[in-house]
Amino acid sequence: MHPDTSADKPVERRQSPRRRVLKGGVVAFNDRYVTLPCTVRDISDGGARLRIEGSITAPDTFELIIEIDGLEAACEVVSRRGNEVSVRFVSPPRKMPPRRLQVVNAIAPVTPPSLRKWPKLAPGA
């Protein structure tokens, strides 16, 4: 007979699964006159977990803007733990045209791979 370990497991209260992400976002409040940069750590259809650095904390209600995805959502704080804030979306997020694009450039020039052996230069040459 196996002991019942269901009491040891935390209760899952999310209605939709969350996806781990690492994206920059903006917490906007006071009619968007005040903004705080944040990092979106995970997101679902119903909410998100944000990391906000600095001495200013987010209010209980605000708008979350993820520029790279063109996502805007009215949020309500569910919990706070240190510099992390868990929020639920008050209404479904609005999809807007992205305000900026993800552009990643190579630091080193790209050279095609080669199986050819390059000659070693003689010292002093």
* Domain-located, residue 113: no
**How many domains does one find in the chain?**
1
Q: How many CB atoms lie within 10 A of CB 36?
A: 18
Whether the per-residue pLDDT at 88 is higher than 90: the answer is yes
CATH number at 87 reads 2.40.10.430
Q: pLDDT value at position 63?
A: 96
Residue 75's nearest CA partner among 100, 50, 41, 39 is: 50
* Domain-located, residue 3: no
Average pLDDT of the chain, as a whole number: 82
* Domain-located, residue 27: yes
Whether the per-residue pLDDT at 49 is higher than 80: the answer is yes
SS3 state at 9: coil
Are the C-beta atoms of 95 and 45 separated by less than 8 Å? Answer: no
SS3 state at 105: coil
What would the mean pLDDT of 76-104 be, rounded to a whole number? 87
What would the mean pLDDT of 51-67 be, rounded to a whole number? 92
How far apart CA 99 and CA 47 sit, in angstroms, is 21
- Domain range for 47 is 19-95
Q: The whole model's pTM is what?
A: 0.68
* Domain-located, residue 7: no
* Domain-located, residue 79: yes
* Domain-located, residue 4: no
* Domain-located, residue 63: yes
Q: Within 13 Å and on the Cβ side, how many CA atoms surround 100? A: 10
* Domain-located, residue 100: no
| Burial label, 62 (beta-carbon count in 10 A; 0-12, 13-18, 19+) | buried
Instruction: Tokens for 124, please give them.
Output: 């002093």
What would the mean pLDDT of 27-56 be, rounded to a whole number? 93
